[in-house]
Amino acid sequence: MSAGVAPAPVDAPDAARRIEETARRLVEAGDCAPRPARDPVNEPMINNWTEALGDANPAYPGQAPPAMVQVWTMGGLHGRRAADDPLGAMSAVLDEAGFTSVVATDCAQTYARVLRPGERLAIRSRLTGVAGPKRTALGEGWFVTTVSTWTVDDEPVAEMMFRILKFRPPPPPEPPREVPRPQVNRDTAYFWEGTAVGELRIQRCGGCGALRHPPGPMCPRCGATRPGYVVASGRGEVYSFVVHHHPPLPGRRAPFVVALVELEEGVRVLGELRGVEPGAVRVGLPVEVGLDRIDDELVLPAWRPR
Amino acid sequence: MSRAPAAPPAVGTELPALRLDVTTTFVVSTALATRDFQDVHHDRAAAVARGSQDIFLNILTTTGLVQRCVTDWAGPGAVVRAVSIRLGVPCYAGDELVLGGRVAEVAAGPDGDEVVVGVVGRCSLGDHVTGTVRVVLP
């Protein structure tokens, strides 16, 4: 797996039970200890805020914008959650279960009174609920709701319900495989149209009925130029093979095996032989065709032991 | 442009739209002004590596802009009691965000008219935010 993919989830019911148990314990534990703001409510930070948001309300900075309340107690550039912070504890358990991404979904703030420069805030938080697992547009996840209270001395001055979605990021799409692509022409189109629909097609002379591969415009036996095809059973034996070590090829990891397979129908077809160690391949090995879907336009035939 | 402080507003009154050019500078400066240092709000390469198309507005800024949409209209004497939002699609750098409000409830209170305004913020991908602001008008 590539980097950035969420760790494989532990057994899902087990993970859900652990998430719910942690949630119950944290809800019962109630408020964490109050954490003081780094700075008192102050005019420079209010001015930075109103400047950035373009808010020209003349009530500021003599009073703080109410919606700025959360700013005073943000953790900052190097912030670390306190050990008893309920969102931190809950997030750790959800991370472990593979719900590693986070997005804020709801925020409801109420303000008991106006705050003015010089006041020193503290915040305390409690977990009020964890709901999931839910299917969302972003992926499967759990909604985590906390309620925080800001105080000045011991007076509650504002409260906030905050809800986040902790979700499992969907796996990134497989990168397209770069492989050498076949030249498709009027002689060979039937073959690649066949692999696209899961058929291994063998050219058959429209004159004498002889089978031949690789395809060509004229029958080497009777000279007719009216080729058709039959669908092969896909079963055969290794007639000959090479183990490719070098040079490197796009879309392949060396060493790999290229086998010439004699089909039950009597013609021989080349393809990669997969699903067997190179050292274990031998002439006469019974194989069958499998299909290696490269992308929407190309399906390569490949052999596998049967 | 704020409203004239005369009669209480009628339910259904539309607020003036707040149009914002969400430049990279806007996303970064508002993220830092709200002390939100998550890389997805200032580092484009990190945001793309996490599956986003660009850096995007942080929730503290969206909350502040929803409030601003209402206070620009309500004027400096208004007291904001609550801002409640739900986020929809992300608002990426390079987009335009248009916030609009509509008076949903009006009730006489001890300190003035208590007004609830429904706010919707739209960007090119759809609704970025829906929410309500509860405000007391003097």
pLDDT tens profile B83-92: 999 999 999 9
Which letter, b or e, does each residue of A217-240 get, where b requires 16 or more Cβ atoms within 10 Å of its Cβ? eebeeeeeeebebeebebebbbbe
Judgement on whether residues A107 and A240 belong to the same structural domain of the protein: no
ipTM above 0.90, yes or no: yes
Contacts of A67 in chain B (CB under 8 A): 60, 63-64, 66-67, 80, 83
Q: Answer yes or no: do A55 and A123 share one domain.
A: yes
Min CA distance, B9 vs chain A (Å)?
20
- Tell me what pLDDT residue B80 has: 98
Q: How confident is the model at residue A5, as a pLDDT? A: 45
Is A52 part of the contact surface with chain B (CB cutoff 8 Å)? Answer: yes
Residues in B touching A68 (Cβ below 8 Å):
34, 64
What 3-state DSSP class applies to A70?
helix
Domain that holds residue A194: 189-305
Q: Is residue B18 part of a domain?
A: no
Asked if residues A165 and A236 have their Cβ atoms less than 8 Å apart, the reply is no
Residues A154 and A287 in one domain: no
Q: Which of A3-17, A281-295, B35-49, B60-74 has the lowest mean pLDDT?
A: A3-17
Q: Within an 8 Å CB–CB cutoff, is residue B84 touching chain A?
A: yes
Q: What confidence category does residue A1 fall into, taking pLDDT thresholds of 50, 70 and 90? A: very low
For chain A, say whether B30 makes contact (Cβ under 8 Å). yes
In a domain, residue A220? The reply is yes
> Do A146 and A71 sit in the same domain of this protein?
yes
Closest CA to A180 of A274, A246, A248: A248
Task: Using the predicted structure, report yes or no on whether residue A6 has a pLDDT greater than 50.
Answer: no
pLDDT confidence bin for B2, thresholds 50/70/90: low
Four-residue CA torsion sign, A187, A193, A195, A198 = negative
Q: Classify residue B108: in a domain, yes or no.
A: yes
Of B20, B29, B64, the CB nearest to A67: B64
Is A184 a domain residue?
no
| A172 domain residue, yes or no | no
The whole-number average pLDDT for the span A36-64 is 98
Closest CA in chain A for residue B63:
A67
Domain assignment present for residue B76? The answer is yes
**A226 within a domain of the structure (yes/no):** yes
In a domain, B72, yes or no: yes
Q: Which of B36, B65, B87 minimises the CB distance to A53?
A: B65
Residues A160 and A301 both lie in one domain: no
- The range of the structural domain enclosing residue B94 comes to 63-137
Q: Tell whether B19 is covered by a domain.
A: no
B74 close to A (CB below 8 A): no
To the nearest whole Å, the CA of B10 is away from the closest chain A CA by 23
Q: What is the distance between the alpha carbons of residues A113 and A237, in angstroms, rounded to a whole number?
A: 85
